[in-house]
Amino acid sequence: MRANQKRLIVTVAVLIVAAVVLLIPRAPAPEGANFLERVAANIRLGLDIQGGALLEYQMLTDAPAAEQGDLAERVIGVLRRRLDAAGFTEATVEKVSTAITFGEEVPPVRVRVQIPGITDIERAEALVGQTGRLYFADVLDIQTSPSTPTAEGITPLELSRRRLQDAEPYWLKHMHFEETNRWYYVSPKINVANRYLELDGSEVTEARSQINPQPSPGQGRYMVTLRFSSEGARVFRDITESKAAYPAQDNRKLLAIILDDRVIIAPVVQSAIRDGNAVIEGLTSLDEAREVAILVGSGNLPVELASFNKQVLSPTLGRDIIMTSLWAGLGGLAIIMIYMVVFYGKIGMVANFALLYNSLLLFGVLSVTGSILTLPGIAGIILTIGTTVDGNVLIFERMKEELRLGKTPENAVDGAFSKVTWTIFDANLTTVLAGLVLLYFGTGTVKGFATTLIIGVLGAMFTNLVVSRAMLVGFAHTIDPRRYVARVAEAEGSDAR
């Protein structure tokens, strides 16, 4: 098989794959959306385009400023796991450092969370969590009340014993208190045969939501499976052995799981669990099971967080900027395409096809990789237009020199590519390396620019060296050398005068 036939096959195959992954709607789109809107939903948009929630937290710690950077990185790791588990992989979590006070007390290190597509601040805060303290607790009483209830049925002797163990109980609301008005009277230390044990949420190594294939009557189809560390499994064994012995209607048979001073869930301990693998049953929906699994499995934050700034960012301004940017990009693309046809004629059409090809390839890669498109990312796309044209201009100018030497169009194409291939490769490689540096060290919108720049430049290199060559070789026999040789001679004559 001839080399150019192979290039044509690769060109067509890549084009088909890029079109398929881009044009077949896969991501959920708004109800009533047309085909183009469903296709656009395949590309994830950043906070600056579609709006969303912006949350900033300060860390409540006495650690010196030099150590707060490492502490913030640990916080970011936990928050990143929580958001990924919730399906918000396009959210960004980053460290923000500042030494400027702006007339008020500003912490030297903050943690910023940006969640595109969320306009409910309370939901965003529930996903992130503020204090991040996750632990298991005894349940001594449960009541339904719009305000803090009073404990009933708790003996003074029991309270005295717990006070001596620094385990005095207190009332906490259910996570969805606004819907249930449910309160739990809990103690952070769990009574096991007059020993008071503590079980921290960091001992949970895995939490997964699952569907129960054969639920018992009234049990519910959904559940969450938990796995504990070796030390956690030992403590959990002692706790469940003790709680399994209580009567069925005794509140002490419950084991509350608490995060941020809210009770996530308080399942009944049916039997002793000795292998460190527990199952929380009786959940009514898959969403509830996922929520419990996310909150329990995300782990403890290493430090308490306090809200520093929270706001919902509207996408309205972003849409205006986006439309302006898109029209600017389309206008520039049209001008470039017209210029290439006027100045280079038939071979200028190759450059125009390469531009459209690379654009489709870039959006296809963005779609299949789930990369986030931000406003600076659009700037990166526009920049790759120039990169693609630049490579073709190098090829065309070398072709004209080859034609001037008396070579046939077919030989001129081969000669041009043999001389400019490494030039194009080196020029694009240095741009990609610069983009990788921005991607690694940059944050937020800088990464969005770097992502589209890298994808676009690699696509430009492919279209210049493979797609453009396949097309030029394909219709080289139709190129009239006299047009380009005459232009060169005319330009040289003008310079001599």
DSSP assignment of 370-404? TPEE-HHHHHHHHHHHHHHHHHHHHHHHHHHHHHH
> Out of 158-172, 265-279, 300-314, 455-469, which region has the weakest mean confidence (pLDDT)?
300-314
Backbone angles phi, psi at 139, to 5 degrees: -115, 120
Look at residue 101 and tell me whether its pLDDT is greater than 60. no
139 & 114 share domain: no
Look at residue 444 and tell me whether its pLDDT is greater than 70. no
65 & 209 share domain: no
> Which are the contacts of 86, defined by CB distance < 8 A and separation ≥ 6?
127, 290, 294
Counting the structural domains of the chain, the total is 3
**What end-to-end distance do the CA atoms of the chain give, in Å?**
50
Using CA atoms, how far apart are residues 314 and 205, in angstroms rounded to an integer?
Answer: 38
140 & 116 share domain: no
Q: Output the CA angle 410-413-415, nearest 5 degrees.
A: 105
Cα atoms found within 13 Å of the Cα of residue 450, Cβ hemisphere only: 16
pLDDT digits (tens, 9 = 90+) for 134-156: 889 999 889 998 888 887 767 78
What's the domain range around 385?
315-496
274 & 144 share domain: yes
Instruction: Supply the mean pLDDT for the chain.
Output: 81
For residue 117, count other CB atoms closer than 10 A to its CB.
15
* Residue where a domain terminates, one of 234, 267, 300: 300
269 & 191 share domain: yes
**413 in any annotated domain:** yes
| pLDDT-based confidence at residue 320 (cuts at 50, 70, 90) | low
Higher pLDDT, 146 or 302: 146
Q: Output the CA angle 301-302-306, nearest 5 degrees.
A: 65
Look at residue 21 and tell me whether its pLDDT is greater than 50. yes
Confirm if 486 and 404 have CB atoms less than 8 A apart: no
| pLDDT value of residue 486 | 57
Using CA atoms, how far apart are residues 265 and 267, in angstroms rounded to an integer?
Answer: 6
pLDDT digits (tens, 9 = 90+) for 353-385: 998 898 889 888 888 877 777 778 888 888 888
| pLDDT value of residue 492 | 54
pLDDT digits (tens, 9 = 90+) for 155-171: 788 888 888 888 888 89
CATH number at residue 358: 1.20.1640.10
**385 in any annotated domain:** yes
**157 in any annotated domain:** yes
For residue 283, count other CB atoms closer than 10 A to its CB.
24
CATH number at residue 180: 3.30.1360
**446 in any annotated domain:** yes
| pLDDT-based confidence at residue 129 (cuts at 50, 70, 90) | low
* Residue where a domain terminates, one of 300, 335, 358: 300
Look at residue 184 and tell me whether its pLDDT is greater than 90. yes
pLDDT digits (tens, 9 = 90+) for 242-262: 999 988 888 889 999 987 778
| pLDDT value of residue 1 | 47
Q: Helix (H, G, I), strand (E, B), or coil: what is residue 477? A: helix
Q: In this structure, what DSSP letter does residue 476 have?
A: G
Token pair, residue 141, equals: 């009483």
* Residue where a domain terminates, one of 273, 300, 327: 300
| pLDDT value of residue 29 | 58
Q: Can you give the length of the chain in residues?
A: 497
100 & 213 share domain: no
| pLDDT value of residue 27 | 61
pTM above 0.75, yes or no: no
**348 in any annotated domain:** yes
399 & 440 share domain: yes
Look at residue 350 and tell me whether its pLDDT is greater than 80. yes
pLDDT digits (tens, 9 = 90+) for 39-87: 667 777 777 777 788 888 888 888 777 778 878 887 887 787 777 666 6
| pLDDT value of residue 433 | 92
**2 in any annotated domain:** no
**147 in any annotated domain:** yes
Using CA atoms, how far apart are residues 286 and 210, in angstroms rounded to an integer?
Answer: 8
| pLDDT value of residue 319 | 59
103 & 250 share domain: no
| pLDDT-based confidence at residue 495 (cuts at 50, 70, 90) | low
383 & 254 share domain: no
- Find where tokens 């898959």 sit: 286
**224 in any annotated domain:** yes
How far is residue 116 CA from its own chain's centroid? 10
Using CA atoms, how far apart are residues 349 and 289, in angstroms rounded to an integer?
Answer: 56
140 & 286 share domain: yes
From 119, 114, 54, select the one nearest 80 (Cα to Cα): 114
* Mean pLDDT (whole number) for 317-345: 77
73 & 221 share domain: no
Single-letter amino acid code for the residue at 331: G
395 & 479 share domain: yes
